[in-house]
Amino acid sequence: MDSVHYIEKAKQLINKKKLKELEDMVLKISDKNAIFEIGIILRELGKYKEAAKIFQQILDGDFFKNNKFLYNKVLNEYEISTKKSVLKSKPTRMHVVVTTDCNLKCIMCRVRKETYTMDDKVFNIIVENLPFLENIMWQGGEVLIYDRFYELIKLAANYHIRQTFLTNGLLLDKKTLEVIVNNDMIMIISIDSPEKEVYEKIRAGAKFDKLLEVLKQVYECKQKKPDFNYSMAVVMMSLNYNQIEKMINFAILYGFSSVYFQKYMADLSDDVLTPNEEQQKCIVEQLKYFQKKSENNEIPIRIATNISLADNYDIQKTDTQKCDIQKNAEIIGDKKKNNVAFNKSGNDRLFCVAPWKTLFLDYNHTIRFSCYCEPADIDMSQCQRNDDVWNSTAIVRYRKSIINNNLYSCCSGLCKNAGDDGKEVRK
Ligand SMILES: C[S@@+](CC[C@H](N)C(=O)[O-])C[C@H]1O[C@@H](n2cnc3c(N)ncnc32)[C@H](O)[C@@H]1O
Ligand code: SF4
Ligand code: SF4
């Protein structure tokens, strides 16, 4: 019998609450991948005892012993299921800001005002983690400026890691594109307008003609390798609020597989780039319209956003920019946080497993698990190896807080990272 059959059978038994029968079935299955998948289903449902037994069963066998990557993956799940706060398993995902240096001075960007480039210590910590990672996100500043970026790509390519990176695209050339395509990397290019004037106003220092030149080369690569996957990221501001349709058409024209419309994170409440109420309504209406079209396959592109499209969406009036790519409305967080707190009693389900899986090394030696987390400082002078970071006091404290269902002050109720596990708990 194949994995799919066992997984389906397991789901039925879980639905019927026949967990003893499920346990007996699992003991008879030799397909370790199927057993692992069943363990994950149980863990995601908060059935930790049952999940832990399954992961223990796999760890006890010889099957994964000689494969560091798979062994770590199972050990990681085991440690989540048994709610360990100090981990023997290594992170399975990373997000790294390699430098804040940039070739542009975009008007909405705060990151470029920081001065940070990761040092050898951080570099070595990344390298130490590579054998265990499923995916990694490289970010800047502009990653293509960082002189050891190609070295990192090559090192990561020795393992089975899905590498994604975020770029303004302007430094891409044939050689770089070749490296990207050959290593099956996912590329996200930030383009905030399909119109020269608006683009150059927002992306100060950029030339629209150069962008088009690069995009033609990117498109040519796609013709040669159709599974080359690249997306477009757009920050929605008062300058481009009415260009959504044009941006989608532009993205389709150049072969992008998706467009990610990002919420603008302002430093000040009276920031002129923040869309006003009417503009915000227009953004929401347009996004809803095109997202529906995308879901119905009426347009050949995926539309994603971190802007709230709920009917009674809250208009952002003030916000603090903590992280540029994802951080969502904390202004509506209070309401959501209360919802989380409401679930506190009697629920021992972990509302987020990111601190068990993801290591996000942000600039200036701060750590998080997603862009939504309140950053925790680590004292790098105390850190020689990965373990000093991964089991640092700050991270262990985060894990303990989650185990105690008590992280609401530094954790956004809207965080999508908690999506897989937090959705149910946050209802
Ligand atoms: C800081 S940039 C670094 C990567 C690269 N330089 C780029 O522009 O794509 C990361 C992402 O944050 C976006 N961003 C910059 N300022 C922002 C802001 N104030 N609010 C939301 N997103 C912002 C950028 O457009 C980009 O997509
Ligand atoms: S948004 Fe990206 S390209 Fe623009 S200044 Fe910031 S880091 Fe540079
Ligand atoms: S749910 Fe909280 S701890 Fe988890 S990633 Fe999001 S903000 Fe961070």
Measured from the CB, is residue 168 less than 6 Å from ligand 2?
yes
99 lines ligand 1 (CB under 6 A): no
Q: Is the CB of 266 under 6 A from ligand 3?
A: no
C-alpha of residue 109 to centroid of ligand 1, in Å: 6
pLDDT for the residue 311: 59
B/e letters for 159-169, b = 16+ CB within 10 Å, e = fewer, are bebebbbbbbb
Contact 247, 232 (CB under 8 A): yes
CATH class of 3-81: mainly alpha
Ligand 3 pocket, residue 417 CB under 6 Å = yes
State in Å: Cα 235 to ligand 2 middle. Answer: 11
Rounded to the nearest angstrom, the distance between the alpha carbon of 145 and the centre of ligand 2 is 12
Residue 362 CA to ligand 2 centre (angstroms): 15
Q: What is the pLDDT of residue 314?
A: 43
What pLDDT, in 10s, does the model give residues 367-391?
888 777 777 777 777 788 888 899 9
Q: Is the pLDDT of residue 280 over 70?
A: yes
pLDDT at res. 342: 34
Task: For residue 31, give the nearest of 69, 51, 57 by alpha carbon.
Answer: 57
Q: Quick check: 195 pLDDT over 90?
A: yes
Nearest CA to ligand 1 atom 8: 168
128-156 pLDDT per residue, tens: 999 999 999 999 999 999 999 999 999 99
Residue 141: asked if its preceding bond is cis (omega within 30°), the reply is yes
The three-state secondary structure class of 37 is helix
Question: Which of the listed residues 326, 352, 358, 404 should we mutate to test ligand 3's pocket, taking the one with most ligand atoms within 8 A of CB?
Answer: 352
Closest CA to 166 of 235, 77, 114, 247: 235
- Closest residue CA from atom 6 of ligand 2: 109
Residue 401: pLDDT over 90: no
Domain boundaries, the chain: 3-81, 93-327
Q: Is the CB of 52 under 6 A from ligand 3?
A: no
Higher-confidence residue of 299 and 62: namely 299
Phi-psi region of 263 (alpha: psi -120 to 50; beta: other; left: phi over 0): beta
How remote is the CA of residue 415 from the centroid of ligand 3, in Å?
Answer: 6
pLDDT above 80 for 354: yes
Compute the average pLDDT of residues 171-193: 97
State the Cα–Cα distance between residues 354 and 416, nearest whole angstrom: 10
Atom 2 in ligand 3: residue holding the nearest Cα: 411
35 pLDDT more than 50: yes
The pLDDT score that the predictor gives to residue 426 is 46
* Cα gap 22→302, rounded to integer Å: 38
Does ligand 3 lie within 6 Å of residue 290's CB atom? no
CB of 321 within 6 A of ligand 1: the answer is yes
- Assign domain 93-327 to a CATH class: alpha beta
Ligand lying nearest the CA atom of residue 350: 3
